[in-house]
């Protein structure tokens, strides 16, 4: 693979060409892309943690640079207005450095108002992408996130350049290393908070630089899909551990989930079965396959596991058709991933933004796109024992098919999720997560 400098050059040249083609198509002479501004906590003197807009990060790997702007014209180098204040209260941004500055006309400013000097004089043919700032609000005739342009950009976001794939792969390497540290902490009897802190330290990042709030769940907490309570006190006995955590590199994210058991018991056998099912699911992917079809196939495979382990006495087909499988697998199989953990454009039918929502039977599926070459997805099947969903089934028409004593015995383990980040190739699938773990071995 080419080095990151060469890959970035190819990425930025292709990105500019595509976006300039869209600018011509929709009659815009300039794009103005703010990095964003910190949000002040209500009635406080502190801001919420800041992350640059993903529109901004598409071009430059500046993940925490507020009050800065990209000004992209039809020709020549884009202008990067780089805010570097003189500030003795906070550490100021470093000087522009790395592989990217050569591709921009970098204008360093020390006062936010200086950015106005680099804005287009005529705003009637300008599109602003992102949240308005005091500077962009002066572009009174500019189009504010025009839907036609935004939809086309979001449609294209699904197709990743080799530079973007390399960044996500590095984010997977960082996360895989930290996952191993977290597993060791779990097996040492640590609390959720201790495991979480060990994970963050292993990434060499700060907590606010995580792509999302880590899910570090012991025992029954693994049944809460977005559990982020992170208890400081270790349970009297840890029997299971579910961790859903990623890392970020140059603004691109990873999203990996693993589940563990302390003993070789039936829950451990369920983990093994789900891991095999997830691997088979990825191996079955066909180029240009509808993601919805893969999701439905996953439901059938999970239902087969539920039947095989004697949890529900129904055929896999009847479990899926009746909605029983959704009691145990209530979320979507996965989503697009990249500059955002849940990357944009997942439910588009075309680049015009025509909606393509999931069917009513699978309402939480985040992407309905076809799996085309260059697209990056997560694949994250799950099997959970969730009180509220099981309580509904106890009152339902299929209650007699459920093995309630076995379910009660499995409830303290919470649930299982296995998640990898993959890239669809022309005739194969790149599993960045499994490859990253394999490198550690």
185, 301: one domain: yes
* Residue 243 structure tokens: 């961790």
How many CB atoms within 10 Å of residue 98?
A: 14
Last residue of a domain, one of 157, 180, 199: 157
The parent domain of residue 38 ranges over 4-157
292, 433: one domain: yes
pLDDT, average across residues 416-422: 98
pTM for the model: 0.97
Residue 161 DSSP symbol: P
CATH number where 87 lies: 3.40.350.10
Q: What is the pLDDT of residues 255-305, one digit of tens each?
A: 999 999 999 999 999 999 999 999 999 999 999 999 999 999 999 999 999
Cα–Cα dist 69/125, whole Å: 17
Q: What is the pLDDT of residues 329-357, one digit of tens each?
A: 999 999 999 999 999 999 999 999 999 99
Q: 252, 325, 292: which is closest to 4 by C-alpha?
A: 252
195, 208: one domain: yes
* Residue 237 structure tokens: 């006995």
137, 167: one domain: no
Last residue of a domain, one of 124, 157, 190: 157
Residue 347 DSSP symbol: T
Q: 50, 61, 51, 52: which is closest to 15 by C-alpha?
A: 61
Q: How many domains does the chain have?
A: 2
Helical (H) or strand (E) element with 162: helix 162-187
CATH number where 407 lies: 3.90.230.10
Q: Going by C-beta distance under 8 Å and a sequence separation of 6 or more, which residues neighbour residue 9?
A: 99, 103
Q: 118, 153, 160, 156: which is closest to 135 by C-alpha?
A: 118
98, 176: one domain: no
Q: What is the pLDDT of residue 414?
A: 98
Q: What is the pLDDT of residue 165?
A: 98
Q: What is the pLDDT of residue 104?
A: 98
Q: What is the pLDDT of residues 128-149, one digit of tens each?
A: 999 999 999 999 999 999 999 9
94, 225: one domain: no
**163: Cα separation from own chain's centroid:** 17
Residue whose pair of structure tokens reads 């990056």 in the numeric block: 376
Q: How confident is the model at residue 1 (pLDDT cuts 50, 70, 90)?
A: low
* Residue 195 structure tokens: 């495991």
Rounded to 10 degrees, the C-alpha dihedral 20/25/31/37 comes to -110
223, 367: one domain: yes
Q: What is the pLDDT of residue 361?
A: 94
Cα–Cα dist 299/328, whole Å: 10
Q: Are 36 and 157 in contact (CB under 8 A)?
A: no
DSSP 201-214: HHHTS-GGGSSS--
128, 166: one domain: no
Q: Are 240 and 219 in contact (CB under 8 A)?
A: yes
220, 268: one domain: yes
User: Measured between alpha carbons, how far is residue 63 from residues 54, 77, 93, 118, 120 in Å?
Assistant: 9, 21, 11, 22, 25
Above pLDDT 70, what percent of the chain?
100
Q: What is the pLDDT of residues 234-253, one digit of tens each?
A: 999 999 999 999 999 999 99
Q: What is the pLDDT of residues 7-24, one digit of tens each?
A: 999 999 999 999 999 999
Q: Where are the alpha helices (DSSP H) in 91-161?
A: 147-157
Q: What is the pLDDT of residues 321-336, one digit of tens each?
A: 999 999 999 999 999 9
79, 185: one domain: no
Above pLDDT 90, what percent of the chain?
98
Residue 79 pLDDT exceeds 60:
yes
194, 140: one domain: no
Q: What is the pLDDT of residue 135?
A: 97
Last residue of a domain, one of 157, 182, 216: 157
106, 42: one domain: yes
Average pLDDT, the chain: 97
**For the chain, first and last CA: distance in Å?**
21
Q: 270, 200, 279, 214: which is closest to 240 by C-alpha?
A: 270
Q: Is 31 helix (H, G, I), strand (E, B) or coil?
A: strand
Q: What is the pLDDT of residue 134?
A: 95
* Residue 338 structure tokens: 């990249």
Q: What is the pLDDT of residue 335?
A: 98
């Amino acid at each position: 693979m080419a080095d990151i400098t060469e890959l970035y050059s190819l990425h930025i040249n292709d990105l500019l060409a595509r976006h300039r083609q869209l600018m011509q198509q929709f009659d815009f002479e300039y794009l103005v892309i703010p990095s964003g501004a910190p949000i002040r906590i209500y009635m406080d003197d502190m801001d919420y943690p800041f992350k640059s807009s993903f529109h901004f990060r598409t071009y430059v790997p500046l993940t925490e640079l507020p009050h800065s702007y990209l000004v992209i014209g039809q020709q020549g180098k884009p202008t990067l207005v780089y805010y570097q204040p003189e500030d003795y209260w906070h550490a100021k941004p470093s000087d522009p450095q790395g592989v990217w500055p050569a591709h921009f006309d970098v204008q360093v400013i020390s006062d936010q108002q200086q950015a106005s000097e680099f804005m287009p004089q005529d705003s009637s043919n300008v599109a602003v992408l992102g949240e308005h700032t005091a500077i962009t609000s002066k572009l009174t005739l500019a189009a504010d996130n025009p839907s036609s342009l935004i939809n086309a950009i979001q449609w294209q976001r699904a197709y990743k350049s080799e530079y973007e794939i390399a960044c996500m792969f590095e984010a997977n390497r960082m996360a895989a290393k930290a996952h191993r540290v977290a597993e060791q902490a779990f097996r040492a009897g640590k609390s959720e908070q201790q495991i979480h802190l060990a994970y963050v330290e292993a990434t060499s990042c700060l907590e606010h630089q995580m792509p999302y709030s880590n899910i570090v769940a012991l025992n029954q907490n693994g049944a809460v899909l977005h559990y982020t309570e992170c208890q400081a006190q270790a349970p009297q006995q840890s029997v299971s551990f579910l961790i859903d955590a990623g890392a970020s590199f140059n603004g691109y994210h990873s999203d990996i989930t693993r589940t563990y058991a302390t003993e070789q018991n039936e829950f451990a056998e369920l983990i093994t079965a789900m891991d095999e099912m997830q691997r088979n699911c990825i191996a079955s992917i066909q180029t240009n396959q509808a993601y919805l079809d893969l999701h439905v196939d996953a439901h059938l495979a999970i239902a087969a596991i539920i039947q095989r382990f004697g949890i529900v006495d129904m055929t896999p087909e009847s479990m899926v058709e009746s909605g029983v499988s959704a009691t145990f697998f209530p979320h979507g199989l996965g989503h697009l991933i990249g500059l955002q953990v849940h990357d944009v454009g997942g439910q588009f039918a075309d680049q015009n933004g025509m909606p393509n929502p999931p069917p009513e039977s699978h309402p939480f599926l985040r992407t309905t796109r076809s799996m085309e070459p260059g697209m990056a997805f997560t694949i994250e099947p799950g099997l959970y024992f969730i009180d509220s969903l099981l309580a509904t089934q106890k009152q339902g028409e299929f209650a007699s098919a459920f093995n309630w004593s076995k379910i009660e015995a499995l409830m303290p383990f919470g649930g299982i999720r296995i998640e990898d980040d993959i890239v669809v190739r022309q005739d194969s699938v790149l599993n960045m997560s499994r490859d990253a773990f394999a490198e550690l071995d």
